[in-house]
């Protein structure tokens, strides 16, 4: 990159100043084009493979070349650059370009050292990666740009006659995003609540409990049909659900005059679930009361006009026709969770509109997981979660609790969540490869503490065009945590920022 003459001579002085201050500032705005980092131009001119493989069926079993990487967790839709130097892995790339079953496809899995035994282990869940671009270099090495495709389970692995690692994998069958059924949020009342001499007094939804989980005022007009919802239930759950869908054709219209004179008398106690209420309320006793659902069996339980005067018609109308209260369904509503996760993500990284992702909760869950600036072990945990709603719930928990960035070795506080800086169009965390073939996932920060910069800035092979890099180590334990990037052009802002390796972050980021 072209360097202003009056700035290049100040590199050493600027580095010395960072040794003592340990911080960089992003004040004055950002003029850097964040799309440049996502291009991985440091790899040189790479050729497009012009090959896009259709997604494989869930449960499919196939053999692919296996790349095991330390400190890297690949997610679907995430970009992974590779500089392949070792001959056995070069042979793996060549085989991947020619294979028939899954052309241009490799398997990527995380390798790590067990902290208890010190032994090297491989994760059991990885991601297939499609080779999008590649380039053969004069020294025989290969530069490759891949993109994550689908999760897989590792069944077995081996080394072929050429020394290339291979694996038998099974593609994970992803579930469909769930919606709250209309019956859970509708205001139609189970007005015909007298059957077989049984009188049930059903309380309205406990809105305070719903608000506690953030689902109090939401209504999904595009809820899935009753049939599709029931198909996800077990036979026992389906019978209970159908038993709770009570018709509304037996209430006399003359009772409406008493609606406004009745106050709410029953509430669901938070200590028990609606399932317990339903099960216990249909017991064998003459008079039973279970968490606000009162059951009276006997001659006196026959409906009378006086009995109806004790109840508010509006109270019945607020009772959902579905078995569970609406807030229970919405705790697992993928679209509602996606809205919450996107809102949290925008607060942290100040991302642009994510409306397109909210409409695709499965892709949103992978997008946030691949860019979330947490430790690699936590991100591996997210990769292994089956179920869109469960993954989103865990991500929301992490986004709400994540604040401190600490050194993995000595627990020294390096930065806080508010110090993050987005220097790539792909987010505050991305994967980059160095000339020696090591892939690093780094988060970018405009301010950091407790770091010492070693050496003068180097402009060659910079991951961020227009910036020179210097090695940054922890001032306490001297572990290399990342790099300091300083601008080589006068008008480039921020003037400097930090890139911290996710593999060197403490597991507990609370």
Q: How confident is the model at residue 349 (pLDDT cuts 50, 70, 90)?
A: confident
Q: Which residue has the higher pLDDT, 456 or 293?
A: 456
Q: Which residue has the higher pLDDT, 228 or 485?
A: 485
- Return the percentage of the chain with pLDDT > 90, whole number: 43
**Residues paired with 194 in a beta bridge:** 199
Distances (CA, A) of 346 to 209, 372, 399, 420, 499: 26, 12, 10, 12, 21
Comparing 30-44, 63-77, 202-216, which segment has the lowest mean pLDDT? 202-216
Q: Output the average pLDDT for the chain.
A: 75
- Sorted by where each begins, the domain ranges of the chain are 41-171, 175-181+325-401, 404-509
420: left (phi over 0), alpha (psi -120 to 50) or beta: beta
CB contact set of 3 (below 8 Å; sequence gap of 6+)? 459, 488, 489
* Residue at token pair 């389970």: 153
Q: Specify whether the CB–CB gap between 326 and 320 falls below 8 A.
A: yes
With CA atoms as reference, report the closest residue to 390 among 333, 346, 340, 343. 333
Q: Which residue has the higher pLDDT, 256 or 348?
A: 348
With CA atoms as reference, report the closest residue to 129 among 84, 171, 79. 79
Write out pLDDT tens, residues 373-430: 888 889 999 999 999 999 999 999 999 888 889 999 999 999 988 898 889 988 889 9
Q: Which fold has domain 175-181+325-401?
A: Methane Monooxygenase Hydroxylase; Chain G, domain 1 (1.20.58)
DSSP class of 383? H
With CA atoms as reference, report the closest residue to 149 among 37, 60, 44. 60
Tokens of 442: 């780094």
Q: Which residue has the higher pLDDT, 17 or 502?
A: 502
Write out pLDDT tens, residues 5-54: 344 444 444 444 344 334 444 445 788 999 999 999 999 888 888 766 66
Distances (CA, A) of 121 to 114, 147, 151, 492: 7, 24, 19, 43
Q: Specify whether the CB–CB gap between 108 and 93 falls below 8 A.
A: no
Q: Specify whether the CB–CB gap between 79 and 430 falls below 8 A.
A: yes
pLDDT score at 467: 97
272 cis-preceded (ω within 30 degrees of 0) = no
pLDDT above 70 (res 288): no
pTM across the whole model: 0.70
**Residues paired with 407 in a beta bridge:** 505
What is the CATH code of the structural domain delimited by 404-509? 2.170.150.20
pLDDT score at 235: 67
pLDDT score at 412: 92
Backbone φ and ψ for 144, nearest 5 degrees, come out as -135, 140
Give the right CATH number for 41-171 from 2.40.50.140, 3.40.50.170, 2.30.130.40, 2.60.120.260.
Answer: 2.30.130.40
Return the exposure string of 51-84: e unless at least 16 CB atoms fall within 10 Å of the residue's CB, then b. Answer: eeeeebeeebebbbbbbbbebbbbbbebbbbbbb
């Amino acid at each position: 990159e072209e360097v202003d003459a009056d700035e290049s001579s100040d590199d050493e002085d600027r580095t010395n100043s960072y040794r003592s201050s340990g911080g960089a500032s992003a004040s004055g705005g950002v003029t850097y084009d964040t799309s440049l980092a996502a291009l991985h131009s440091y790899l040189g001119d790479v050729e497009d493979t012009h090959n896009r493989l259709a997604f494989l069926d869930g449960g499919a079993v196939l053999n692919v070349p296996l790349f095991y990487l330390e400190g890297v967790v690949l997610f679907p839709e995430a970009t992974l650059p590779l500089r392949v130097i070792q001959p056995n892995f070069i042979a793996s790339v060549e085989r991947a370009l020619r294979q028939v079953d899954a052309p241009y496809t490799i398997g990527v899995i995380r390798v790590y050292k067990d902290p208890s035994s010190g032994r090297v282990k491989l994760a059991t869940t990885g991601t297939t990666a499609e080779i999008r671009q590649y380039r053969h270099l004069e020294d025989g090495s290969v530069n490759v740009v891949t993109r994550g495709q689908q999760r897989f389970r590792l069944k077995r692995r081996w080394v072929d006659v050429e020394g290339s690692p291979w694996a038998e994998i099974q593609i994970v069958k992803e579930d469909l995003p769930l919606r709250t059924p209309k019956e859970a949020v509708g205001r139609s009342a189970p007005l015909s609540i007298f059957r077989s001499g049984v009188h049930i007094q059903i309380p309205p939804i406990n809105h305070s409990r719903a608000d506690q989980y953030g689902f109090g005022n939401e209504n999904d007009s595009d809820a899935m049909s009753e049939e599709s919802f029931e198909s996800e239930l077990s036979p026992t759950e389906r019978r209970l659900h159908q038993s709770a869908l009570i018709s509304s054709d037996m209430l006399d219209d003359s009772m409406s005059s008493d609606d406004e004179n009745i106050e709410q008398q029953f509430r669901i106690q938070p200590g028990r679930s609606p399932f317990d209420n339903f099960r216990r309320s249909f017991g064998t006793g003459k008079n039973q009361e279970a968490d606000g659902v009162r059951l009276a069996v006997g001659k006196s339980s026959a409906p009378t006009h006086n009995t109806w005067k004790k109840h508010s018609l509006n109270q019945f109308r607020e009772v959902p026709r579905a078995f569970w209260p609406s807030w229970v369904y919405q705790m697992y509503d993928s679209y509602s969770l996606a809205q919450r996760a996107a809102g949290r993500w925008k607060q942290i990284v100040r991302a642009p509109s994510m409306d397109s992702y909210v409409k695709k909760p499965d892709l949103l869950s992978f997008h946030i997981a691949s860019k979330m600036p947490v430790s690699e072990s936590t991100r591996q945990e997210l990769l292994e979660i089956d179920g869109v709603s469960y993954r989103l719930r865990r991500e929301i928990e992490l986004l709400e609790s994540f604040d401190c960035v600490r050194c993995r070795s000595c627990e020294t506080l390096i930065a806080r969540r508010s110090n993050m800086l987005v220097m790539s169009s792909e987010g505050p965390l991305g994967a980059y490869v160095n000339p020696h073939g090591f892939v690093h996932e780094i988060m970018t920060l405009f301010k950091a503490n407790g770091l010492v910069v070693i050496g003068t800035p180097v402009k060659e092979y910079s991951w961020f065009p227009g910036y020179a890099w210097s090695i940054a180590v922890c001032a306490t334990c001297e572990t290399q945590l990342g790099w300091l990037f300083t601008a080589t052009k006068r008008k480039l802002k921020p003037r400097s920022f930090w890139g911290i390796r996710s593999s060197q972050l403490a597991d507990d980021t609370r």
